[in-house]
Amino acid sequence: MVRQHVNPLSRFFQLPLELPPPAALFTDPGHPIHLDIGCARGRFLLALAQHQPGVNHLGVEIRRGLVQAAEADRQALELGNLHYLFCNANVSLEAWLTALPVGQLDLVSIQFPDPWFKKKHHKRRVLQPALLLAIAKALAPGRRLFLQSDVLAVIEPMVALTEACGCFTRPSADARPWRSSNPLPLPTERERYVLDQGMPVYRVLYERNEAPLPELSTLEQWLDAASDPADNPLDPAAPTA
Ligand SMILES: C[S@@+](CC[C@H](N)C(=O)[O-])C[C@H]1O[C@@H](n2cnc3c(N)ncnc32)[C@H](O)[C@@H]1O
């Protein structure tokens, strides 16, 4: 049985894994790469890889059983432009991203991430400052970061963090506050469920701009201040004593 949720901060998931390079994952390793973070059972990528044979798709997922099942599907279809890897994205992705040839990463998607609603669990959410900076470092200007969720309380902080980083802009044609449609040609499993229920989906497509990366500590301090504005003396909006 595959667990519904795992705690990414538990000691087991803090062990870094060395993820194989594109040459060990794809038949044509020079193709542009789409990285989907938190791909779950992988059916979205399985369909997308067949729809986009000129793109290499990598799904990473922290629940190992889902990755094993997804990999079995991929192997049955003998898809050379798709791979799934078990890892904690917050621990093991940065080194893999850093080793990529410049310009090869075309798109990063984070779709319907686990919400971890309680404030004390917000640090378990997948989009943390270090991962965002690793993504920003690996994406060349013009390359894309796609975020979507059905939970405003989850997507709003992701958007705020991404914009605080300064390395991403939204194309001028991208509707605000949320895109009206999915820029990807196929829905994820969660997206299909949400749309079937008639519930809204909140989406933003960012493009990497030319701005240099901020310091990690600066972005972490920003996040702390944004999470707890009343406690933070640096925040001009904080009430004075
Ligand atoms: C709510 S599911 C969404 C799955 C899929 N993206 C979709 O839209 O249908 C979020 C997925 O992210 C995975 N996940 C959460 N934290 C992760 C982490 N730190 N690294 C890798 N995967 C993670 C979860 O195990 C889960 O499968």
Residue 90 CB less than 6 A away from ligand 1: yes
- 82-86 and 105-111 strand pairing: unpaired
Contact criterion met (CB below 8 Å) for 31 and 54: yes
pLDDT at 237 > cutoff 50 = no
Give 53-57 contacts, CB < 8 A, sequence gap 24+.
53/81, 54/81, 55/31, 55/81, 55/106, 56/22, 56/25, 56/26, 56/28, 56/29, 56/31, 56/32, 56/81, 56/82, 56/83, 57/33, 57/81, 57/82, 57/83
Mean pLDDT of 164-172: 95
Q: Confidence class of residue 1 from pLDDT cuts 50, 70 and 90?
A: low
Question: What's the pLDDT score for residue 218?
Answer: 97
> Between these two residues, 171 and 99, which has the higher pLDDT value?
99
Distance 38 CA to ligand 1 centre (A): 3
Question: What's the pLDDT score for residue 2?
Answer: 67
Mean pLDDT of 173-197: 95
Mean pLDDT of 124-135: 98
Mean pLDDT of 191-200: 97
pLDDT at 190 > cutoff 80 = yes
pLDDT at 147 > cutoff 80 = yes
Distance 60 CA to ligand 1 centre (A): 8
One-letter identity of residue 198: G
Compute the half-sphere exposure of residue 202: CA atoms within 13 Å on the CB side of its CA.
14
pLDDT at 90 > cutoff 90 = yes
Residue 190 CB less than 6 A away from ligand 1: yes
One-letter identity of residue 38: G
**92, 106, 131, 183 from 134: Cα distances, Å:** 11, 14, 5, 23
Catalytic residue among 114, 150, 228, 235: 114
pLDDT at 236 > cutoff 70 = no
Q: What is the mean pLDDT of the chain?
A: 93
Give helix 129-138 / helix 216-227 axis angle, nearest 10°: 140
pLDDT at 195 > cutoff 50 = yes
Q: Name the pTM for this structure.
A: 0.94
Ligand 1 atom with the smallest distance to the CA of 8 is 19
pLDDT digits (tens, 9 = 90+) for 11-36: 999 999 999 999 999 999 999 999 99
pLDDT digits (tens, 9 = 90+) for 27-62: 999 999 999 999 999 999 999 999 999 999 999 999
Phi-psi region of 222 (alpha: psi -120 to 50; beta: other; left: phi over 0): alpha
pLDDT at 142 > cutoff 90 = yes
Say which CATH class 25-230 falls into: alpha beta
Ligand 1 atom with the smallest distance to the CA of 189 is 9
pLDDT at 235 > cutoff 50 = no
Output the residue whose Cα is nearest ligand 1's atom 16.
Answer: 126
Ligand 1 atom with the smallest distance to the CA of 89 is 20
Confirm whether 235 is a catalytic residue. no
pLDDT at 124 > cutoff 50 = yes
